[in-house]
């Protein structure tokens, strides 16, 4: 037996069940003023059952009947008054109504921010030198890394304290400049003047202002897009085109009552997933113990400490991206690099010489991202964990990667057919 699918709701069902206030206007071609008319009685019964109200009381047709209607809900409707205007080149009168529409408000949210652009860089660097000179000597890379974070965090709290402010969430429109805003104001002034006087000349001026605003907006958008494209490389150009051609979708998360509980659920799920992979790799390595091992002439026994120039080059060449775990923005660290370079170099060299990665460098900010657009949002297996590390953690990772790659190249240990993750080996 074939299951019968539910019928889609009709337009009338949508009007009567929608949570918003409906406003139905038009020529219904029903003589609502004629109480003896059968169609008029049926229509009135429908309006009464749906708790709707018809507001036009005057005659709207030259034959002497009310055909043009304005219908709203009985309770809480936005209609203020209605009137009919005759003398038009039509057999119908114009129905004019005043509607009390509240101005749409942009949604607001509370955010935490710092006024980092107001920081006095000279004073910040001076305080940074003073704080670093007062630090006690540490031989443990984890403790030294914590000291670096603590110094930066205290200076940020002193020079740019964190504040909680309320902001409006407006659409992103970087092309909306002063010229576009002025053209829009002129259009609105012309619109009000045309509605007030009703003169033909003012209507023509309003149409001309609309065309001028559309032209100005188009030119501003075109100029912005042109400037953006000229500054992009091939990778950035593909990303820019993807953003323009792909509809943005809001990030979905599983249903939850507590943010903390949801974060713990994700953490336990990702942890168990990693543990299962580790256990599988351990079982494979034990089963391969009896197999023939490849004898190598060279061994990578230890990492080499690096100079301040190597660390400076790694920091300068890295993009100025920041993680939420960073105590200070990356651009500020680069600005005060002369003051921080000896301390950062010491942290990295201690980590390389002892083989210990600082604990805070192994802490990451996890963002669950859906693997597919159409999936069950409550299925945790459908999310991919995106981990963001601290900036200094990435610098240590980059230096270690450079030494490993140099060793592999020197002893020809790269697979001959490997093209991925190798410079100058793209297919």
Per-residue pLDDT tens for 125-175?
999 999 999 888 888 999 999 999 999 999 999 999 999 999 887 777 888
DSSP 51: T
125 phi, psi to nearest 5 deg: -65, -40
Alpha helices by DSSP H, 107-177:
121-133, 141-159
pLDDT tens digits, one per residue of 86-110: 877 788 888 888 888 777 777 888 8
Provide CB contacts within 8 A for 47, sequence distance 6+.
Answer: 53, 54, 71
Q: Is 98 helix (H, G, I), strand (E, B) or coil?
A: strand
Residue 34 in tokens: 């004629």
Which ranges of the chain have pLDDT less than 50? 1-5
DSSP result, 280-332: HHHHHHHHTTTSPPPP-S-----PPP--HHHHHHHHHHS-----TT-SS-HHH
Other beta carbons within 10 angstroms of residue 333's beta carbon come to 22
pLDDT for the residue numbered 388: 92
- Give residue for tokens 């792909």: 246
**Chain-centroid distance, C-alpha 346:** 38
CA distances from 295 to 162, 292, 298, 407 (A): 57, 9, 9, 16
The neighbour count for residue 38, using CB atoms within 10 Å, is: 8
CA distances from 17 to 11, 21, 68, 424 (A): 10, 10, 24, 63
Please report the pLDDT score of residue 318 as a whole number.
Answer: 93
HEC sequence for 8-41: CCCHHHHHHHCCCCCCEEEECCCCCCCCCCHHHH
Q: Tokens for 101?
A: 């529409």
pTM for this predicted structure: 0.64
Please tell me the predicted confidence (pLDDT) of residue 4: 47
DSSP state of 92: B
Query: Does residue 262 contact residue 253 with C-beta atoms inside 8 Å?
Result: yes
370 vs 128: CA distance, rounded Å: 41
User: What pLDDT shows up at residue 207?
Assistant: 93
Say if residues 340 and 128 touch (Cβ distance below 8 Å). Answer: yes
Start-to-end C-alpha separation, the chain: 56
Q: Are 328 and 152 in contact (CB under 8 A)?
A: yes
């Amino acid at each position: 037996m074939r299951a019968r699918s539910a019928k889609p709701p009709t337009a009338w069902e949508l009007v009567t069940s929608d949570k918003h206030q409906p406003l139905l206007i038009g020529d219904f071609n029903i003589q609502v003023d004629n109480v003896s008319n059968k169609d008029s009685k049926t229509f009135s019964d429908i309006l009464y059952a749906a708790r709707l109200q018809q507001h036009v009381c005057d005659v709207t047709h030259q034959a002497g009947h009310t055909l043009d209607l304005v219908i709203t809900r009985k309770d809480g409707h936005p209609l203020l008054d209605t009137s009919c205007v005759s003398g038009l080149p039509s057999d119908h009168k114009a129905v004019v109504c005043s509607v009390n529409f509240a101005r749409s408000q942009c949604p607001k949210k509370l955010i935490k921010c710092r006024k980092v652009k107001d920081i006095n860089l000279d004073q910040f660097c001076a305080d940074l030198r003073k704080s670093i000179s007062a630090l006690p000597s540490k031989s443990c890379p984890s403790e030294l890394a914590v000291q670096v974070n603590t110094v930066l965090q205290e200076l940020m709290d002193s020079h740019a304290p964190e504040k909680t402010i309320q902001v409006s969430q407006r659409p992103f429109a970087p092309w909306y400049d002063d010229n576009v805003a002025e053209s829009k104001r002129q259009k609105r002034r012309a619109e009000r003047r045309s509605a007030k006087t009703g003169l033909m000349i003012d209507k023509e001026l309003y149409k001309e202002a609309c065309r001028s605003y559309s032209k100005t907006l188009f030119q501003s958008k075109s100029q912005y897009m042109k400037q953006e494209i000229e500054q992009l490389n091939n990778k950035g150009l593909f990303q820019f085109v993807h953003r323009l051609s792909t509809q943005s979708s809001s990030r979905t998360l599983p249903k939850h009552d507590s943010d903390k509980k949801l974060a713990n659920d994700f953490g336990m799920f990702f942890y168990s997933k990693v543990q299962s992979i580790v256990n599988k790799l351990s079982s494979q390595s034990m089963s391969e113990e009896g197999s023939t091992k490849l004898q190598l002439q060279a061994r990578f026994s230890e990492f080499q400490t690096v100079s301040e120039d190597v660390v400076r080059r790694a920091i300068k060449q890295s993009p100025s991206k920041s993680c939420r775990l960073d105590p200070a923005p990356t651009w500020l660290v680069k600005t005060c690099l002369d003051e921080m370079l000896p301390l950062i170099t010491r942290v990295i060299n201690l980590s390389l010489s002892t083989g210990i990665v600082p604990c805070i460098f192994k802490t990451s900010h996890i963002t669950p991202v859906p693997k597919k657009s159409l999936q069950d949002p409550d299925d945790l297996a459908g999310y991919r964990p995106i981990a963001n590390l601290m900036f200094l953690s990435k610098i240590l990772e980059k230096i270690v990667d450079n030494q490993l790659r140099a060793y592999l190249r020197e002893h020809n240990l790269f697979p001959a057919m490997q093209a991925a993750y190798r410079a100058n080996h793209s297919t």
